[in-house]
Amino acid sequence: MSQTVAITGASAGIGRATARLFAARGARVGLIARGKAGLDGAARDVQQAGGTPLAVPADVSDFAEVDAAARQIEDALGPIDVWVNVAFTSVFAPFAEITPEEFRRVTEVSYLGFVHGTMAALARMRPRDRGVIVQVGSALGERSIPLQSAYCGAKHAINGFTSSLRCELLHDKSGVHVTVVQMPAVNTPQFSWVRSRLPRHPQPVPPIYQPEVAARAVVYAADHPRRRQYLAGGSTAATVLANRVVPALLDRYLAKTGYSSQQTSGTEHPGRPNNLWHPVDQPQGSDHGAHGAFDEKSHPRSAQLGLAHHPVAATAAGATAAAAVAVGAARAIRAQKGRKS
């Protein structure tokens, strides 16, 4: 029996790739996002992959719009079995250069959007006592980096909110499950459309993975939601574990390297369109797809994903990688000190 799946942020990136993967299994997929061109493209993808699409324009920062989208999806496609929260926006800039309005907007979309999606899903799943909610998190929700204070704050908030909700569902002996997939750096269009005050074009911190890697992790989590969280990609496992062991060392390492590693050598174009307040596919009508501008640098698969299905193996592999990260960070700091002396 095919599933009904609702995905926020479905017009591009991880949401778009996840929609295609569910569709390949014959799912009915409700696509929620702001941009019409992206939604239309995602609907075509779902149909071509073998699923049944329904595109519903909505801004996740507005609960009424999200709830109405959930109602429309269930009316057209049937009861929602899986809800995936992906939608976000961000501002690349030092904290001192972000306005209060911008910080509030990122929080409303990237954190409250997940809260709103979860509320809308639970209102329908709880009476049926079944369903799965997958929160698409980030390694940056465990280990913050410079220049992304609003995004990191939102991802940390999602972790705290979800942990609280999970305890409540366990207390109620609910048949509804919620899990988080912490993502690595992913090659999505966000780096070409987020608001940025950096002198050079923003980029994901390498290693970079293709959105299909993230999508496979989301679908697996939806199928196996009893685990509280999944770490997608070796860099995510290494970052999370290293931060638990040597957080102060990572502070110093990221202070030295975090600015340059998030920028390409290309100069940023002042005034380029960004999606903080409005989707960038309007009025131009361009569909950005799932991939960003870093295909040549991105990995199409992750060996760690297979290990992530086995907690003991994943922990051992992550510990090894974390040790490598810590050693590399210490060497980088010593090298920089040596150049200054």
Query: What count of Cα atoms within 13 Å lies in the side-chain half-sphere of residue 135?
Result: 34
Question: What pLDDT, on a 0 to 100 scale, did the predictor assign at position 217?
Answer: 98
How many alpha carbons lie under 13 Å from residue 13 in its C-beta half-sphere? 23
Do residues 60 and 31 lie in contact, with contact meaning Cβ atoms separated by under 8 Å? no
Q: Which of 170, 67, 160 is nearest to 121 (CA)?
A: 67
Least Cα distance to 137 among 119, 121, 156 occurs for 156
Residue 67 tokens, joined: 């709830």
Catalytic residue set:
151
Nearest CA to 55 out of 28, 24, 84 is that of: 28
* Cα(197)–Cα(180) distance, integer angstroms: 30
Q: What is the pLDDT of residue 301?
A: 86
Task: Provide the pLDDT for residue 119.
Answer: 98
Report pLDDT for 129.
98
- The pLDDT of residue 310 is 58
Token pair 């940023």 in the structure block, residue: 268
Residue type, 7: I
pLDDT < 50 regions, the chain: 322-323, 330
Dist. CA 149–CA 95, nearest whole Å: 6
CA distances from 256 to 82, 252, 260 (A): 41, 6, 9
Residue 179 has a pLDDT of: 98
- C-alpha span between 307 and 233 (Å, rounded): 10
CA distance 24 to 324: 38
Task: Mention the CATH class of domain 4-340.
Answer: alpha beta
